[in-house]
Amino acid sequence: MKQIFDDTKLTWGGKRTGAGRPSSGRSKKNIYVTDYEFELLKNLLEVYRQGSQSKYSMADAQKAADLIIAKKNEAFLK
């Protein structure tokens, strides 16, 4: 019985060259933020990814980033 399996090459399953979805270059990151911070970060990321096509401007994105930093500094100083 062992002889049969040694001579047979299985051609299904396992890792194959070129198989699967191509990498997008992104990876999942887990962070803890408040709901407010999440909305700010989501808007900031939309501006960053879409550039001038976004409904938000780079000024809005900068304001969001400044607000997050100010809130973190305020919490740190308490």
In a domain, 2, yes or no: no
CA distances, 27 to each of 24, 31, 54, 77 (Å) = 8, 13, 23, 33
Q: What is the pLDDT of residues 25-47, one digit of tens each?
A: 888 889 998 888 888 888 888 87
Measuring CA to CA, which residue among 61, 70, 69, 59 is closest to residue 43? Answer: 61
Question: Is 3 inside any structural domain?
Answer: no
Decide: pTM greater than 0.85. Answer: no
**Is 24 inside a domain boundary?**
no
Asked whether residue 8 is assigned to any structural domain, the reply reads no
39 occurs within a structural domain = yes
**Structural domain tally of the chain?**
1
**Domain limits for position 72:** 31-78
- Is residue 68 a part of any domain in this protein? yes
Q: Give the pLDDT confidence of 44-67 residue by residue, as tens digits.
A: 888 777 776 666 677 777 777 787
42 part of a folded domain: yes
Query: Which residue type sits at 21?
Result: R
What's residue 10's pLDDT? 61
What is the 8-class DSSP label of residue 21? Answer: P
Which of 70, 13, 1 is closest to 37 using CA atoms? 70
Q: Is residue 5 part of a domain?
A: no
